[in-house]
Structure 1
Amino acid sequence: MFTDKMDVAAFSDENFNPKDWINKALKTSDPTQTKEQAASSLVLKLQLMISKLNTALEDQCQQVVQSIPRIVVEAEQLQQEAAFLKDKLISVKADVESVEQETEQNMRALIQMDRVKERISETSKALQEADNWSILDSQAEEGLLKKDYTLVGEKIAGMQISLRLLHHAQDYQERVDHLESLRNRLEATLSPNLVKAFSNNDREGAKTIVNIFRGMERDKQLTKYYSKCVKARVAQRWTEIVNTPETDVVDWLAMLYRDLLNQAKENKEWCEQIFSDDNPDKITCSVVTGCLTGLDPSLDFCLEAGGKLQPSLLPYLSNLIQKTNDFLSELEPYLSSCTEKECRDLGKAVYGPYRPFVSKYREIEAQTLIKEMESWTSGGKDTIEEIHSLSSSVAKLVQLFTTGATRCNQITKGTAFPAFAGAVRDCMDKHLDRYRKVMRRLEKRKGIADDDWSVLQNCLSAVQITGDLLNQFEELDMKLAMMFLEATRSYLGSDTATNKPLAQYHNFLLNPEKIKELETMYSKVSGKSGGSTTPILKDSLDILKQASADLQKTSFNIMFHPIETQLDKVSELATQQGPGISLEANLPEFSFSPQEYITQTGEYLMTLPQHLEPFMSAADNTNITTGLARALRDGNIPGSKEAVRGGGESAADCSAPVDFLLGCVAVSTCGKYMEQLNGVQGISNNSARQLGIDIGYLGNVLEDLGHCLSGDLASASTLLKIEQQQFKTEALNHPISIATLVKKIRAIQN
């Protein structure tokens, strides 16, 4: 009773662990018992189990001992029977050898007789077939005379069977030649009827003749006959189409495609009834491909001739390509089981007429874009009107190029995007000529910039417009990149490119060189070439940035011209002996006042922010500020690097581009003054102090503008004003180059 509750099976496990078994048994013991009681109970159970096992083992041993004599007796009997069987096998082997020796001659005779029988049978069949061949041949000749071609086909089929049995005959080759002659005669006789049935769409007549051809094993030529007939019928229909009055190429193409689609439908029905063993999709693909490439006049010629009559080529191509796309889309269900090569051959035939246009797409698109762009402007405008026109052209240009990209996708499925990018570049270069003309016109007027501030304002307005154009072009480039990748993914993307043989537009529309160019663009735009992605409009952006940089240089030259004119007087005035300066006595600093050249420079600088106010950051001109800041980011105005290093605002991030421009002016002014100081030498102490006073005045003006003197010019001012006896000590606190320069200016010997 106790053992039934224990896990007895665990004792036979190879990985039996006594500790684990004891712990488990104790856990499942009666909870009312203590551990000692449970252990005692468990020991008792194990002892009872051992006792039962011992008893069972003794019983089993007793039974085995009792059965051993019987097993020994049975083993002896089995040994005797095995010896008896061995003797029998030896006896049988001897009998077999004896029979083989006695019957060897008889078996050879039987085998020889069987071979003779087979040869006699073959000879009999050959004689029968030879007689049958003659009968069938005679009947075939009679059928040809009676024009019973169905009978002739049956007899030729019978002769083919007989010929297979006469392959050992001496005149076998003659019979082969004779049978081939009969086939040729029957095929030549039936071919006109077959062509007539195919041409007239006579399915019953064609079915009868096709069965005859199959019977005489000439069925491989049937689809070729059929294809030729269909092509001839389509070619005749094409001649009628192109001669239809009051129609053009677009109408011709629509009618041709409609006929080809009807033909594809007929092919499927025809093959189900006539060519049941052939693949209807392959026949349709072959027929359509052959029809498109065998037209006279060719589609290439017709499309090119029609294009010459069009006022605008791209809408014409767009209309044609849409019909072609629709045709291929409707034809595709009839091509489901065609191979990739067959589909590609068809695609090349369908899109082949467009290849000459795609190869010249850059020129075609550029002409269209430039023509549209030129319609926005007219000659004879003054500078202000031209700048307003340029400003209004920014959004128009972006819309123009967006429309062009959509058109490129529609006509070329994205394959001509490299050409489109080139067309945009050509159009942009043409557009930038207007900026260049404005720049030359304004540059001629830089001498009156301080009298007519509109010159500078017009310059900065032109720069701001280029910044707006850069901003919108960068947004446009991102949009075009998405359009390009989406359009070309079906044939350039690695995951899907091989799954759509009828979508391999790059193979249909481009030559190998253009394909490589397209793949290179795809790699760069998608980032698969490594590194950062390349803008589609990179060339256009580059020439736009260059034009903007040239405009900025012109604007700065105009802005800086009045300052440069005044500072050119520094070296001349420094050597003149003005009132009070010729005195040898040291004068107090208050005895000096800034000279006219520097005060005029200061007045100009102080007036500059007022006239640049339209370009300052404000709620009502944020777009102007953003455009000007964007343009300055890629420019290289003199002094821009020093202005940024000197604590000025970066052109790339500036929210107040006027401050950046003033910083560049401040740096350039200091640089110009230092350049002038290099041409001064051997002046008196009072003249040197006058220069120092002038520089100090310039520093005060720049400080009012939020900028400061350059370190070199500030050092020069200090060293110019200091007494000679203190110069050596003070010079130690300034750059050696500046100390040397001032020493030369003041003609200090030691």
Structure 2
Amino acid sequence: MDVSALSEATFSPADWINANYKKYIEENGSKDGDATSFIQSYVAKLQLYVQQVNYAVEESSRQVVSSMPRIAKESTTLHSDVSQLQEKMSAMRQEVAAVQNETGECMATLERLNTLQTKLQAAKESLQESDGWGNLLAELEDGFERNDLKGVCEKLIALQKSLHAQEQLPGHAERLTQVEDFKNRLEALASPSVVQCFAESNLEQAQHYVQIFASIQRLPQLQQYYRAVQKNLWQQQWKQTLELQGTETQPQQQQQFLTLYYDQLLEHCQRQVKWCSNLFSEESTQPFLVIAELLPALQPTRDAHILQLLKTSNERLELLGLFSQVNHSFVLHLNSLLEQSHITLSDELHRQLGEAVFEYFHKFIQQYPRLEETQLSTQVDRLLSNQSTPSDAVRHLEESTRKLYEWLKEACERCSAITSDLALCKLITLLNGIFKRQLENFGRIQRQLGLSLGSSSYAAQSENWSLLQYTMSQLQCLADFQVQLHQFEHDLHARMATLAAKLTKQSSRGNITIFQTCDHAARTQLLNAIADYQQKKAEATESLGIFPQIYAALKLQFSETHDITLNILLQPIETHLAHIRPAAETHPSTGIDMPSFSFAPQESITQIGQYLLTLPQHLEPLLLAPSALLKQALEVCNVKYTQAIPCADVLLSLVVEQCCILYQAQILQIKTLPASAAKQLSVDIEYLSNVLEELGLSINLQLSQILTLLKAAPDQYLTLSSGCEPRLVTAIRQMRNIISTQ
């Protein structure tokens, strides 16, 4: 029996009994009375176990009771020892306090004496150095008279040490001034030789001067001499380059001055990086500091010379693109040189170097939009040439749209090449004007089509069909313009997103770029403009938020061109409707009511019917399988074109709809309508209804109600007019001279 389970925290009597019972069955086999024998056996064992536990508890209690007097006695002894220890510690604390009182004054006196000893020792050394100060000054003066650079340097080092030793003596400021004066004289004495060795790139001699200047703590001044020599050398090289290019006769060769100069400067910089690393140890950034200080100080300035070339050039944008490419190529090679040399520039030098290369070019970036606008305007002017005939004008539209977007893409490429897209938002602003001019061209051709519709030269119906084809072509051109405009907007958004990422990227420890040279105000303004365009894109429904006004004007032109298309198709109908007049009373005296079958449709209405029946054969060649662009244009004009039916059927239904409206308006202009005329008119309407049924269409509701009112007998007019429009009921009643019974 396992009794260890009884002491577990999760002990369960039922589980324990069941487990033991199962174990008992497995050991003894299955027999009758197993449960009874198991219980008797385990109860006996448990009783025995309880007796043992009781015995152990009684034994432990007896031992505890017997040991209690001894524990109490030991506790009393321990308490007494603690009291004695506390008394000894208190006495010791008093003794320590007495010793501190006795020795405190002695320690303070010792410290004061030690301080005085240190001061006396320093004063002694200072006096000793002061005695030798005069000798050093005399030796220095003698060395300067003999131009003994090495001896002067040694004595000056000794003078510096002596100055440091005499720091405690009065007159230290005067002695410091003397030392600085001697350093200045030494620097002036060495400067001609320093300049010469730097000009000749004499490494051994230069290292000697590095040791001298480092010993007198004037190494920065030596580096300044190095930069001054290099800048003077490259200033002369700049003038020679300009003079050489000035002798060239070809403009392309004259424009290579900056490329030539940068190439020479890069080659020299690469050599100087290695030379300076040997000369100044780890300080190998001096050649880059030379470039940072040299380029902004060039005379004449780079921008002044470029301006002179621009004044004599007819390809100003291409010329600016060339110089921009030269700048970026120069920086690309600088970044490569820094990476290969494992040189990390300081944040300040990194910024200065970028500004030295790109700062002068920002004024041309500011001028770029004006130059670009001039070029685009000149190109667009060539597209706006007047065409004598509508066919020539419409054919010219397709070509002009293609050329326009080619020029706009070229303009964007120039913007990227010249300004790295920093002038992209300004370019977008001027593009609005360019698009408006193109839309004005669309509008002018549209008006030309409208005027041609009413001119005598287009009176022939065959020529009207040609005019219809021109309007369809113009709708397709408008759709082509819209599709390319949408793609153009998408490309502009992608460019702006890329530009924003470059402007916000922290590149102070990365490559030198033109974006780090933008001042804070210009950067903020550009990022705000990009964010504004992105917000408009999120809010826009039809456009992408860059040219919303152009989209609105374009939509209006879609609608107006479609209206011209309908007017072309409705012109014959309007002509025939104008000849419809109420027929005179055939037998005014007899008052005979003629049956309807005795009336034939009037010639004008039959001509309209014949015309409508011929429309499908003229529309289907144009619209049976319209191009994707034409289908898109028609959907913009009217939502019915989005239905899953042929566009020709939609246009025919629109013509029929307008025909019914025109016919209804023509009927309502009639002042009086005799009975025979009413029957004639009803026969005409029924004829038109039958024609439309053959086309799969029907007359509109108003015309159907007019037919009902015309056929109604006077005595049944009120009953049959129920459900018709009150306006029509009243108008027809007055025409027929039916007296109202209400």
Same-fold status (TM-score > 0.5): yes
Task: Indicate the residue corresponding to 2:734 in structure 1.
Answer: 744
Q: Post-superposition shift, 1:174?
A: 1.9
Task: Indicate the residue corresponding to 1:647 in structure 2.
Answer: none
* Alignment of 1:658 onto 2:648: yes
CA shift digits 1:62-121 (9 cap, x unpaired): 777787777677667666665665565566566666766777776676555445433322
* Alignment of 1:601 onto 2:601: no
- Separation (CA, whole Å) in 2 of partners of 1:129 and 1:22: 103
Q: 1:48 to 1:599 in 2, by over 3 A?
A: same
Q: 1:528 to 1:377 in 2, by over 3 A?
A: closer
Task: Indicate the residue corresponding to 2:671 in structure 1.
Answer: 681
Q: 1:439 to 1:111 in 2, by over 3 A?
A: closer
Task: Indicate the residue corresponding to 2:325 in structure 1.
Answer: 322
Task: Indicate the residue corresponding to 1:184 in structure 2.
Answer: 184
Structure 1 residue identity aligned to 2:725: P
- Separation (CA, whole Å) in 2 of partners of 1:414 and 1:721: 74
Structure 2 residue identity aligned to 1:672: L
- Separation (CA, whole Å) in 2 of partners of 1:120 and 1:514: 64
Structure 1 residue identity aligned to 2:182: L
- Separation (CA, whole Å) in 2 of partners of 1:486 and 1:172: 68
Q: 1:59 to 1:629 in 2, by over 3 A?
A: same
Task: Indicate the residue corresponding to 2:703 in structure 1.
Answer: 713
CA shift digits 1:462-485 (9 cap, x unpaired): 43344355257426633762x445
Deviates more, 1:512-521 or 1:371-380: 371-380
* Alignment of 1:257 onto 2:267: no
1:413 pairs with 403, 420, 428, which one? 420
SS in structure 2 opposite 1:745? helix
Q: Post-superposition shift, 1:357?
A: 4.5
* Alignment of 1:11 onto 2:7: yes
8 Å CA contact retained: 2:384, 2:441: no
Q: 1:100 to 1:384 in 2, by over 3 A?
A: closer
SS in structure 2 opposite 1:651? helix
Structure 1 residue identity aligned to 2:470: S
Q: Post-superposition shift, 1:341?
A: 6.2
2:297 pairs with 277, 294, 298, which one? 294
* Alignment of 1:454 onto 2:460: no
Q: Post-superposition shift, 1:738?
A: 1.2
Structure 2 residue identity aligned to 1:261: L
8 Å CA contact retained: 1:467, 1:548: no
- Separation (CA, whole Å) in 2 of partners of 1:27 and 1:222: 100
Q: Write the mapping of 1:397-476 to structure 2, written as runs, cut at 5 A.
A: 401-421=408-428, 425-432=432-439, 435-447=442-454, 449=458, 451-467=460-476, 470-471=479-480, 473-474=482-483
CA shift digits 1:563-593 (9 cap, x unpaired): 22332344xx23x737567874322212322
Q: Post-superposition shift, 1:737?
A: 1.4
Q: Write the mapping of 1:98-247 to structure 2, written as runs, cut at 5 A.
A: 110=110, 113-245=113-245, 246=248
TM-score, scaled to structure 2: 0.81
Paired residue total: 722
Q: Post-superposition shift, 1:739?
A: 0.8
* Alignment of 1:269 onto 2:274: yes
CA shift digits 1:355-413 (9 cap, x unpaired): 44544545544565676678899877754355445445655555554455445444443
Q: 1:109 to 1:350 in 2, by over 3 A?
A: closer
Q: Post-superposition shift, 1:735?
A: 0.9
SS in structure 2 opposite 1:696? helix
Task: Indicate the residue corresponding to 2:566 in structure 1.
Answer: 556
8 Å CA contact retained: 2:391, 2:470: no
Q: 1:153 to 1:598 in 2, by over 3 A?
A: farther
SS in structure 2 opposite 1:709? coil
Q: Name the % identity.
A: 26
Task: Indicate the residue corresponding to 1:248 in structure 2.
Answer: 253
- Separation (CA, whole Å) in 2 of partners of 1:661 and 1:446: 18
- Separation (CA, whole Å) in 2 of partners of 1:355 and 1:515: 16
- Separation (CA, whole Å) in 1 of partners of 2:42 and 2:148: 108
8 Å CA contact retained: 1:615, 1:657: no
Q: 1:189 to 1:610 in 2, by over 3 A?
A: same
2:618 pairs with 598, 611, 614, which one? 611
SS in structure 2 opposite 1:493? helix
Deviates more, 1:53-62 or 1:223-232: 53-62
TM-score, scaled to structure 1: 0.80
Deviates more, 1:308-317 or 1:682-691: 308-317
Q: 1:386 to 1:479 in 2, by over 3 A?
A: closer
- Separation (CA, whole Å) in 1 of partners of 2:143 and 2:537: 72
- Separation (CA, whole Å) in 2 of partners of 1:289 and 1:91: 79
* Alignment of 1:700 onto 2:683: no
- Separation (CA, whole Å) in 2 of partners of 1:82 and 1:522: 81
8 Å CA contact retained: 2:503, 2:516: no
Q: Post-superposition shift, 1:742?
A: 1.5
8 Å CA contact retained: 2:586, 2:676: no
- Separation (CA, whole Å) in 2 of partners of 1:48 and 1:494: 90
8 Å CA contact retained: 1:594, 1:697: yes
- Separation (CA, whole Å) in 2 of partners of 1:66 and 1:444: 134
Aligned alpha-carbon RMSD (Å)? 4.4
SS in structure 2 opposite 1:147? coil
- Separation (CA, whole Å) in 2 of partners of 1:139 and 1:40: 123
- Separation (CA, whole Å) in 1 of partners of 2:365 and 2:305: 16
1:634 pairs with 615, 633, 636, which one? 636
* Alignment of 1:587 onto 2:594: yes
Q: Post-superposition shift, 1:686?
A: 2.4
Q: Post-superposition shift, 1:244?
A: 1.9
8 Å CA contact retained: 1:670, 1:709: yes
8 Å CA contact retained: 2:446, 2:561: yes
Unaligned runs of 5+ residues in structure 2 are none
Q: 1:519 to 1:107 in 2, by over 3 A?
A: closer
Task: Indicate the residue corresponding to 2:487 in structure 1.
Answer: 478
Structure 1 residue identity aligned to 2:303: D
SS in structure 2 opposite 1:213? helix
8 Å CA contact retained: 1:318, 1:411: yes
- Separation (CA, whole Å) in 2 of partners of 1:359 and 1:233: 32
CA shift digits 1:425-451 (9 cap, x unpaired): 555555556544543443333245562
